[in-house]
Amino acid sequence: MIFLMKKITLKKSDWLTKRLKRPVSLVLFAFFMLLLVAPAQAQIYAPEGLNMPGTWNGWTNPPANNLAFASSTQVADGRVLLIDVGTLRWQTTFSVAATGGDITGGTYTWLFTSGPESNAFANKWADVTVSMNSLQEYTYQGAADNSLTVADGYWYTMNWEDAGYGNTRAIFMETSAEPVAITSVSVPATVLPNEDVVIGVTTDAAPSPEELVYLRYTTTAWNTSEVLVVAMTGVNGVATIPGQPDNTTVDYYVFTSTVAGITSDFDLYTIKYNNNGNSNYQYVVGGGAPPVIGWANLQWPDMGIIVTGSEYLVYGQVFIPGVTDQAGQGADVQAWIGYHNEDTDPAGWTNWIVADFSGDVGNNDEYVADLGTLLTDEGTYYYATKFQYLTQQEVYGGFSASEAVSGTASPTSAECLP
């Protein structure tokens, strides 16, 4: 969907500039002092990424001569990938074979490294002899090279926890076939109170004997969770979520691993996963699969003039069947008004303010927020709405004069006068 937002032009008066001059200077000074005392960053510098030079590629670093061990953010087509869902981690999968694999069987020494191409060994993690399928701690700037023994005919998936420039953990998981992809996960249409729910899972190939398929679910918005083994027969499998009380919301996703009896560090033990595009799968006991947002819009104003620091109310509407078409505010609905100085996809914006429920408009719920008092700098701004129901994926709305289509009208502008 293309999101077309309305824009406003804001001109800051001279007296406001003078009044802001001292406070802004103080804020900038305070921010500078904060930088001086801030702790080390909690993750490595992503553009340099994570590399794995070693005897398997003649210690070339970055490992452009063996992409299985090269960072995707530093080397074109590198296969050490950053995964930013859940625990921040880097992952690669490589094959071992006498011919045709990424490497051949044997024992190799190597390092985890991160640094600019001019100093690729600037940061290293070492001192480990790998114990397969075990989460082990690596020493930052350790002295001894790591050692790994691999066998022909196997695949290896490595997860490295991105904990910044300090000691961290990593795991190598061994399978006798390429790890499978989870192609589908079922969602029940209707669930009765205290009724067990059978979830179907499909993979693109039959998992190897070493690769276990799990379903992880929660009834507490991930404050706690449970893990079930998916019983696989070929490419099809099932897991049974125990019955829950009426109105319970159950969220779940499916992942694979080689480790049995996992009770923590689920992401680090994960080879592949399917979490419904980062929204997770969900059903509500007594109501089956929950409804979704069917329509969202930035309602009005379509143009206007803002006086600096004055009120500029922006309205948006949302329709969710069975939720907003009831009297009063629909339960579990959140709304925001966002703004940006460029006409871009609002999914990348960072400036969002909570919108308050304004009232029912037909089958829609209307929300409102005051955007005017937030904008104090001269410039042109674009704005849009954002809505979320339960923990589902957020939905954005641009301006449209008709409810039949959302987010398809051309942007309009308003000038803010001193």
Give the pLDDT confidence of 393-409 residue by residue, as tens digits. Answer: 899 987 654 433 333 33
Tell me what the mean pLDDT of segment 61-72 comes to: 98
Listing DSSP states for 80-127 in one string gives: BEEE-SSS-EEEEEEEE-SSSSSB-SEEEEE-EEE--GGGTTSEEEE-
Q: What is the DSSP letter of 129?
A: B
Give the dihedral of Cα atoms 79, 84, 85, 87; nearest 10 deg. 100
Strand 313-319 and strand 295-300: the pairing is: antiparallel
pLDDT at 381: 79
Architecture of domain 182-284: Sandwich (2.60)
What is the phi/psi pair of residue 126, to 5°?
Answer: -145, -165
Higher pLDDT among residues 348 and 169, named by residue:
169
Provide the residue type at 131 as one letter. S
What's the pLDDT at 189? Answer: 83
Of residues 9 and 204, more confidence is placed in: 204
The H or E element that residue 367 is part of is: strand 364-370
pLDDT in tens, 379-390: 777 888 999 998
Q: Taking the domains of the chain in order of start, what are their residue ranges?
A: 6-13+291-417, 55-175, 182-284
Structure token digits, residue 127:
């001192």
pLDDT value of residue 397: 82
Structure tokens given for 119: 């100093």
Tell me the pTM. 0.64
Burial of residue 356 (CB within 10 Å: 0-12, 13-18, 19+) is exposed
Give residue 375's pLDDT band: very low, low, confident or very high (50, 70, 90): confident
pLDDT the model gives residue 307: 72
What average pLDDT does the segment 180-186 reach? 97
Strand pairing class (168-175; 182-185)? unpaired
CATH topology of domain 6-13+291-417: Immunoglobulin-like (2.60.40)
Task: Decide: 384 and 343 in contact? Cβ < 8 Å.
Answer: no
Looking at residue 156, what is its pLDDT?
98
Per-residue pLDDT tens digits for 264-288: 999 999 999 999 999 999 999 986 6
Are 6-13+291-417 and 182-284 equal in CATH topology? yes
pLDDT for residue 418: 55
The single-letter code of the amino acid at 163 is A
Rounded Cα distance between 238 and 259, Å, is 19
What share of the chain has pLDDT > 90, as a percent?
Answer: 68
Average pLDDT of the chain, as a whole number? 85
Per-residue pLDDT at 141: 98
Q: Are strands 281-284 and 273-274 parallel, antiparallel or unpaired?
A: unpaired
> 3-state SS string over 203-256?
ECCCCCCCCEEEEEEECCCCCCCEEEECEEECCEEEEEECCCCCCCEEEEEEEE
- Is residue 129 a contact partner of residue 140, using CB atoms and an 8 Å limit? no
